[in-house]
Amino acid sequence: MDSEKTNKKLNDMTKGSEAKAIFMFSVPLLLGNVFQQMYSTVDGIVVGRVLGAEALAGVGASFPILFLIIALLMGLGMGATVLISQFYGAGDYDSVVKIADSVLLSNIVISMVLSVIGILITDPFLDLLKTPAEVMPYASLYLKVTFTGMIGMVGYNLTSAILRGLGDSKTPLYFLILSTAINLILLLLFVPVLGMGITGAALATVIAQLCSFIFGIVYLNKTHPLIRIDPRHMKFDRKLFVESVRIGLPSGFQQMLVSVSMIIIQAIINPFGTAVIAAVTAASRIQQFAFMPIMNINMAMSAFAGQNIGAGKMARIQKGYHAALKISGTIAVVLTLVCSIWGRAMIGWFNSDSEVIMIGHEFLLIVMPFLIPACVMFMSMATIRGAGDAMATLTISMAALWLVRVPSALILAHTIGYRGVFLAAGLDWSAGAIMAFLYYRSGRWKKKISIDRIMKKEENIIIEPEDETTDWKREGCSHGRNQ
């Protein structure tokens, strides 16, 4: 396949302005996150207003379990994105196709396994979380219906990961927008009109996600210059699939450990009373929206690093890293000022109690300035992850979380009260920023580049680093796809 024709369809991040490439890639991701937030918000509004507080609590109680599953899918998707971006950057389209085939074929097995395990663990896990008896039936039914439709959730995440690896972050956004619209229509049909209760709410989500997956398959087959999904010709490459899991699983495992730590942090906050819990809930929602653009630039930087590593343009990665820091840092400063000035009003959207507003504003004043070191942490880890060194990012993130945040939250909560729990979040990001930046500067992540390790074994590639400011030369790289 002609590479010039391919690049017209895909987002080639190995050329042009580094800042523009990263920014333009991250914008659709940001919009996608906004729609994902709307996804859950619409769910909550319809369920809460039509079915009542117990049903709404049931949907909320199901989140920790679903988050664990989503974390694993994020890991699998990240591994596929990194490898595809590296091989695409190198022009090895045959390997791009092999990875796409492998992750999509694995979707069937992964979906079945997650469905069975999910249904089996639902009730025991809800008991472990001490779910109230009046909430238990709603949470259990919502989860079990959701688990039966795992193929849609897994399939959408994997097709989106493939497209992101090819530099296309817009198409997954379009699928997500369409899925959100379908979810809303089905929710209003199943719950208020047909009276299907919590089953209808879960079923609406399952169908919407399945539609996203189907749209992805149709899009790839009809319009994509590289990928054709035909079960008769798809082949499973065990080596490449294992490599994608090796890269992505630590990221998924990391997210799982994050969810566990958040449960512990919540347990530390709860004894401070209803006002503090409500304030943290409201302020955390605002913080999550503030984090969106930073995390999207983080994802864009991973794809940028992966493509340029594949193309052997190491000097360009450093420029992209600095551009990502400037963009995310500017956003962090602006959002910190906004939350400082209008924080009270924003907390008031969630609750009008004066004590809740005061504590929520304190949360924002303490936590938001630490978004700046958080930018350093996430951009450094994105670059390292783009090289395939997933274990380093896992180690750094977990060290900051479990050796800094959780212990400091426990200690500071007993010394300076709930404000100490807020401060612990900032200490986490600061420690992570120092560790991630030092590891990035050490250059050790360059030795973990996945494409080099695979291709040296399979294609006898010779990599000759001339110096730190020049690109790497490659010999023997495949630059075409056999049609």
Reported as type and span, the H/E element at residue 277 is: helix 274-310
Tell me the three state secondary structure of residue 10: coil
Alpha-carbon gap, residue 213 to 46, rounded angstroms: 24
Mean pLDDT, the chain, rounded, equals: 75
Domain shared by 320 and 402, yes or no: yes
Are 302 and 386 contacting, i.e. CB atoms less than 8 angstroms apart?
A: yes
Residue 337 scores a pLDDT above 90: yes
At residue 301, the pLDDT reads 84
SS3 of 258, please? helix
Query: For residue 431, what pLDDT band results from cuts at 50, 70 and 90?
Result: very high
Is the separation of the CB atoms in 452 and 441 below 8 Å?
Answer: no
Domain annotation covers residue 468: no
385-394 per-position pLDDT tens digit: 777 777 788 7
Written as one letter, the residue type at 120 is L
The pLDDT of residue 350 is above 70: no
Higher pLDDT, 309 or 424: 424
DSSP string, 345-374: HHHHTT---HHHHHHHHHHHHHHGGGHHHH
Q: In terms of residue numbers, what domain contains 353?
A: 246-456
Question: What are the helix and strand counts (H, E) for the chain?
Answer: 18, 2
Percent of the chain residues topping a pLDDT of 90 = 10
> What proportion of the chain, given as a percentage, has pLDDT over 70?
69
Domain end: 215, 236, 257, which one? 236
Q: Dump the DSSP string for 14-80.
A: TSS-HHHHHHHHHHHHHHHHHHHHHHHHHHHHHHHHHH-HHHHHHHHHTHHHHHHHHHHHHHHHHHH
Label residue 44 by pLDDT band (50, 70, 90): low
Q: Which amino acid is at 272?
A: F
One domain for residues 228 and 327: no
Quick one: 132 and 161 in the same domain? yes
Cα gap 75→250, rounded to integer Å: 7
What sections of 349-472 are H helices per DSSP?
A: 354-367, 371-386, 390-400, 406-415, 418-442, 450-459
Domain stops at, among 214, 236, 258: 236
* Domains held by the chain: number: 2
Q: Which residues contact 17 (CB under 8 A, 6 or more apart)?
A: none
Q: Are 29 and 52 within one domain?
A: yes
Token couple for 309: 């590593």
Task: Give a yes or no: residue 464 inside a domain.
Answer: no
The whole-number average pLDDT for the span 219-244 is: 70
- pLDDT higher than threshold 90 for residue 57: no
Is 480 a domain residue? no
State yes or no: pLDDT of 404 exceeds 50.
yes
250 domain residue, yes or no? yes
Exposure on the CB side of residue 372, measured as CA atoms within 13 A: 7
Pick the last residue of a domain from 184, 204, 236. Answer: 236
Q: Is residue 260 part of a domain?
A: yes
pLDDT at 435 over 90: yes
- Identify whether the C-beta of residue 99 lies closer than 8 Å to the C-beta of residue 83: yes
Least confidently predicted of 35-44, 212-221, 248-257, 451-460: 451-460
CA 326 vs. chain centroid, Å, equals 21
| Residue 472: predicted pLDDT | 36
Hey, which of 205-219, 302-316, 385-399, 456-470 has the most confident mean pLDDT?
Answer: 205-219
Same domain, residue pair 57 and 103: yes
pLDDT of 333 > 70? The answer is yes
- In the structure, what pLDDT confidence band is assigned to residue 376 with cuts at 50, 70 and 90? very high
Per-residue pLDDT band for 16 (boundaries 50, 70, 90) equals: low
Same domain, 74 and 165: yes
Q: Where are the alpha helices (DSSP H) in 311-353?
A: 314-348
Q: Using CA of residue 324, residue 327, residue 330, residue 331, what is the dihedral sign? A: negative
Q: Is residue 473 part of a domain?
A: no
CA torsion 119→124→106→459, rounded to 10°?
180
282 and 218, same structural domain?
Answer: no
**Measuring CA to CA, which residue among 152, 374, 393, 150 is closest to residue 252?**
393
Q: Does residue 85 lie within any of the structural domains?
A: yes
* C-alpha to C-alpha distances, 398 to 392, 403, 440, nearest whole angstrom: 10, 8, 17
Note the pLDDT tens digit of each residue in 118-145.
888 888 877 776 666 776 788 788 888 8
pLDDT digits (tens, 9 = 90+) for 73-131: 776 777 777 777 777 766 767 777 777 777 777 777 777 887 888 888 888 877 776 66
Cα separations in angstroms, 262 against 266, 413, 425, 427: 6, 15, 11, 15
Same domain, residue pair 153 and 18: yes
- Name the residue among 174, 267, 225, 153 with its Cα closest to residue 6: 225
Residues 183 and 261 in one domain: no
Mean pLDDT of the region 194-215: 86
463 domain-assigned = no
- For residue range 266-276, what is the model confidence (pLDDT) as tens digits? 677 767 766 77
Residues 211 and 357 in one domain: no
- Indicate if the pLDDT at residue 460 is higher than 80: no
The pLDDT of residue 339 is above 60: yes
In terms of domains, do 104 and 213 share one?
A: yes
**Residue 438 CB-density burial (10 A; 0-12 exposed, 13-18 middle, 19+ buried):** exposed
Among 302, 319, 366, CA closest to 340:
366
Which of the four pLDDT bands, split at 50, 70 and 90, describes residue 408? very high
Determine the Cα–Cα distance for residues 457 and 217; give it in Å rounded to an integer.
32
Same domain? For 257 and 213 the reply is no
Length of the chain: 483
Q: Output b/e per residue, 118-140; b: 16+ Cβ within 10 A.
A: bbeebeebbeeeebeeebbebbb
Residue 292 is predicted with a pLDDT of: 78
